[in-house]
Amino acid sequence: MKGIQEKIKEGNKDFEEGNDIVIEIIRMLCKQFFKNRFSSFGERPHPFIYYKFLRIIQDWTPEIFNDIKDYKNEWTSQKKEDWELKYFVEGVEKKGSKAIFDYFFSEGKIYDDAKYEMYRQMALYNAADMSLFDVKRLIYSLLIAKMNDKYSNNLIKDKVLKLIFDEQLDTNTGLFPVGHVVNTDFVIEGGEIVDKTERIISASPILSSVECLDDMLTHKELKADLEKYHEKLNSTNEWIIKRLRKDSSDKPLGWFPEYESTHTPESWVAGHTLVFLKRYCEMLSELIKKNAAKELQAKNPEELTIEWEKLKDSYEIKRYIEYMTKKDEKGKVVSNSKYRSALIFGPPGSGKSTIVKALAKRLDWDYVELSPSLFLSEGEQNIILKAIEIFKKLVLMKGTVIFFDEVDQLVKSRKKSDEKSVWIVTSLLPMFQKLREQKDIKFILATNDITKVDIAAKRPGRIDAVLPMGAICWQDRLKILRDAISDGNNQIKYLRYAEPQNIFSGLLAENKLKNNKQIDEMVKDDINKDLERFLKQSDFMPFIELKSIVEMLFNKRDWETAKNTEAFKILFSKEDSGRDEYENSEFKKFHKNLVGEPEKTEDKLDKYVHLPMEAEISKGEYIKGVKNTVFWES
């Protein structure tokens, strides 16, 4: 029910839960636990009951906590026998909401009871006492023990799981033996919990094998372990598909209870069955993705080191790549499924792969990098077969950002290609289109030469944005300099010298170095001549080169040593010499062809730019902005 409410709230922000009745029932269940641990007949309750109770407590903890705060009188009692309930309420008031689950799980001895029952069932099995052994009791004992991953004996856990799946019936059903009945010893009548005066067996006291397997698949601490048993789970999956009841027109009606002779579909059974099918398919999807990721050498987010916030910008590309993300109601960065693809073009060393890795890190997604050599690994004559094999894996990799490097080698312009290349491009384009149709996958193509990429590969609908990347924005270059000269206390390192305060005065605000926001708000008129010199000299330097030179200049050096180096003279002194030494000619030519006047009309690059559909400025305004990111003038 809690999960259903969350789904409704995603689509309807005005949805009000109206949980008064639910909380009243939970309150009664908690009181019953303190009264007799759900057992009036002296028998140990089935672990299934304890597990479901703990799941309720876990899912509804915030609501229970608020109810205890707002309606304390409903939770407390003056009766002597209710001392434990009073102790529980006082503990929650002192320790907060975390104490609610912890109390039932640990102090309430549910964890200890579950661990005891798990060992007991294993002993019964090893003693071949099948009259008392019950695999379903073993399942729910394990599920409780592994809640919050408290039970750490992986050797026992693995033995228990093996025993559980060894107990599946060899009748091609994947079901478990019937086992003991599951029956509570109380009912809710007239809004109150009433103890049963005699043993009353409910209509369906036999615990469903499908529900057992569904609860196992839902348990996050067992997720990886269950992947080893996917073939065992598949036997249940196949049996379920065969067992679906249909009417005369072949319309699905649902499923009926596993162990009963009636063939009438029941909604409760259908509900558990559909949830199992969903969980099983999700597990298979994750398993397929893992296998594909291993073959394609995917990196998980923890392996990616570049943070989006620390990434230096080029031509405001971060702003437009960020259209692939959005923030949810809680402020968390999530995927924006409207934008799933982009093509980045720019000279070598401009950071094309770096921004894609940063995007994957920002989304907390996996990252896969593909180059033409992988497609050619089995020879040019087999490139199509290899591409089909690769794309079959890629479309299954949900939650992944895919980077295609040197894409002009894969989808060359068909105008200047031979027949074989035309055939390859024609075959590959639909594969990119199918990849674009996957809502939970992003892919970005990259090329050093946009003119060589086939026009159909850049088409809107297949590619959501075509963006240039080259020179670093001057504000970010100032941040690189600011970080290099900082003494760690947000001040210039060389306080005993007046000279550096003068040169770097444009980076100071109230005797402290400006922060990122203050630098972003600067305009070119705020720049003094010394900083202008630095920015002009570094206009067309690749990020790695600029960062390493600036850090080399100022890290662990005194001022006199730093200012006498050749690098300092080139970047900061007033002589107009040595500029070409650090200038990257490819960066400069690229920028000139993008915003200036290229030597040949056909070299003009702005015609290839394609902004995201919801961009707030025109392409013309964007190009003007790109021109302003550097100090170079044509």
Contacts of 5 (CB under 8 A, 6+ apart): 15, 17
DSSP 8-state code for residue 106: I
Spans of the chain below 70 pLDDT: 1-18, 40-42, 78, 81, 171, 183-205, 260-261, 574-580, 634
Q: What is the structure's pLDDT at 449?
A: 93
**Start-to-end Cα distance in the chain:** 65
CA distance 534 to 536: 6
Please state the separation of Cα 482 from the chain's center in Å.
33
Q: What is the structure's pLDDT at 203?
A: 46
Locate tokens 């006492």: which residue? Answer: 129
Locate tokens 């060389």: which residue? Answer: 494
* Beta-strand runs (E) in 287-430: 325-327, 333-335, 341-345, 366-370, 400-404
* Beta-strand runs (E) in 203-251: 245-246
Are the C-beta atoms of 452 and 412 separated by less than 8 Å?
yes
Q: What is the structure's pLDDT at 632?
A: 81
Domains of the chain: which residue ranges?
202-295, 301-468, 474-583
Helix spans in 96-229 (H)? 98-102, 110-126, 135-145, 154-166, 209-218, 223-226
* Helices 47-59 & 61-70 angle (0-180, nearest 10): 70
Q: What is the structure's pLDDT at 117?
A: 96
Q: What is the structure's pLDDT at 351?
A: 93
Contacts of 195 (CB under 8 A, 6+ apart): 40, 185, 186
Q: What is the structure's pLDDT at 288?
A: 86
pTM: 0.74
CA distance 398 to 389: 17
Question: Fold for domain 301-468?
Answer: Rossmann fold (3.40.50)
